[in-house]
């Protein structure tokens, strides 16, 4: 079944919001146009519309950042707020002990969404920008989310998405991907070596919800050569990630526990 066409202008406007939201610093209209490969007048029209509707705000030097309208909408549906707050300390401790970024991620509409990101302190830090949000199938956190998803999710994903080759190591046939997902579910962790970015490796483990179902994925990206040089031992790092994920899961379960005396179901 072919995927129905989307409205290009809406997609471009959402791309602008994604780019501004993922940036650590406000971005100018020229930067946005260049990064999204848009004609300057097209970018300006979209930016002006988003600005007037409150989805973008402008800094004193004329650059753009996320507007209050985004925060207003987000505050009504941010189901990850509590989890983000609870995960911040254990993720920070993980990043401090390893020197690498820690990323908490989930899936929405077949795309990765970042719940929390803590930067590492090592000499080489892989930026959160290297998460390929449209490439769920070739990142450590993405593959783990797919492995723990219901079978019908993978079937629907197959109907609407194509496995594009991002690097020479990207898995682009469904038989191999299914085998990879089964192995991830069996082992309890996901390893990515150069599938989304040639020089980057990553590990991910599950974070479980109160009922034992998958809540999200916890991952760490790092230079691929760390594995070759033994700076990262896969088993040891997986154990550290699993320990951090367990702390987050327990904290979340405690936070979701009904207050004593609450008889509601």
User: In this predicted model, what pLDDT tens digit does every residue of 61-87 receive, in sequence order?
Assistant: 899 998 878 866 765 556 688 899 999
Do residues 175 and 85 share a domain? yes
80's CB contacts (< 8 A; 6+ apart) are 106, 115, 116, 216
pLDDT tens digits, 11-64 = 999 999 999 988 889 999 999 999 999 999 999 999 999 998 888 998 888 999
Please check the confidence at residue 249 and state whether its pLDDT lies above 80. yes
Q: Report the alpha-carbon distance of residue 252 to residue 219 in Å, rounded.
A: 18
pLDDT tens figures, 129-168: 444 566 789 999 999 999 999 888 888 888 888 899 999 9
* Structure tokens given for 180: 């990879």
What pLDDT, on a 0 to 100 scale, did the predictor assign at position 112? 84
Per the structure block, which two tokens stand in for 159? 């109907």
Position 175 scores a pLDDT of 94
Which pLDDT score, from 0 to 100, does residue 264 have? 43
Query: Is 60 exceeded by the pLDDT of residue 127?
Result: no
Q: Are residues 143 and 225 in the same domain?
A: yes
- 85 shares a domain with 70: no
Altogether, the residues listed in the chain come to a count of: 265
Q: Are residues 209 and 173 in the same domain?
A: yes
Tokens representing 47 are 């930016």
Same-domain check for residues 61 and 130: no
Does residue 22 sit in the same domain as residue 134? no
Report if residue 246 sits inside a domain: yes
Q: Do 59 and 38 reside in the same domain of the chain?
A: yes
pLDDT of residue 207: 97
- Are 158 and 203 in the same domain? yes
Residues 111 and 216 reside in one and the same domain: yes
The pLDDT of residue 39: 93
- The confidence score (pLDDT) of residue 235 equals 97
Number of domains, the chain = 2
Q: In terms of domains, do 121 and 224 share one?
A: yes
Q: b or e along 217-232 (b: 16 or more beta carbons within 10 Å of the residue's beta carbon)?
A: bbbbbbbbebbeeeeb
Q: What residue numbers bound the domain in which 242 lies? A: 78-256
CATH code: domain of residue 173: 3.30.450.40
- Domain endpoint, select from 27, 56, 75: 75
- Judged against a pLDDT cut of 70, whether residue 260 lies above it is answered with no
Domain C-terminal end among 26, 58, 75: 75
């Amino acid at each position: 079944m072919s995927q129905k066409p989307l409205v290009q202008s809406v997609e471009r406007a959402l791309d602008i919001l994604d780019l501004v939201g993922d940036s650590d610093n406000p971005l100018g209209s020229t930067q946005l146009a260049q990064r999204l490969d848009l004609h300057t007048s097209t970018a300006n029209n979209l930016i002006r519309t988003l600005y007037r509707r409150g989805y973008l705000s402008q800094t004193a030097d004329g650059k753009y950042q996320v507007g209050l309208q985004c925060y207003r909408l987000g505050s009504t549906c941010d189901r990850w707020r509590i989890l983000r707050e609870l995960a911040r300390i254990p993720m920070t401790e993980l990043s401090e002990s390893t020197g690498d970024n820690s990323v908490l991620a989930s899936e929405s509409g077949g795309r990765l969404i970042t719940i929390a990101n803590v930067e590492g302190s090592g000499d080489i830090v892989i930026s959160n920008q290297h998460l390929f949000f449209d490439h769920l199938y070739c990142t450590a956190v993405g593959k783990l989310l797919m492995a723990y998803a219901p079978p019908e999710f993978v079937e629907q994903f197959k109907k609407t998405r194509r496995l594009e080759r991002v690097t020479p190591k990207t898995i682009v046939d469904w038989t191999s991907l299914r085998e990879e997902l089964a192995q991830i579910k069996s082992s309890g962790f996901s390893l990515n070596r150069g599938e989304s970015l040639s020089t980057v490796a990553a590990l991910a483990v599950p974070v479980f919800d109160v009922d034992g179902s998958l809540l999200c994925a916890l991952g760490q990206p790092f230079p691929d050569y760390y594995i070759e040089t033994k700076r990262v031992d896969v088993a040891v790092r997986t154990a550290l990630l699993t320990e951090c994920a367990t702390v987050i899961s327990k904290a979340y379960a405690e936070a979701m526990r009904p207050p004593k005396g609450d008889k509601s179901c």
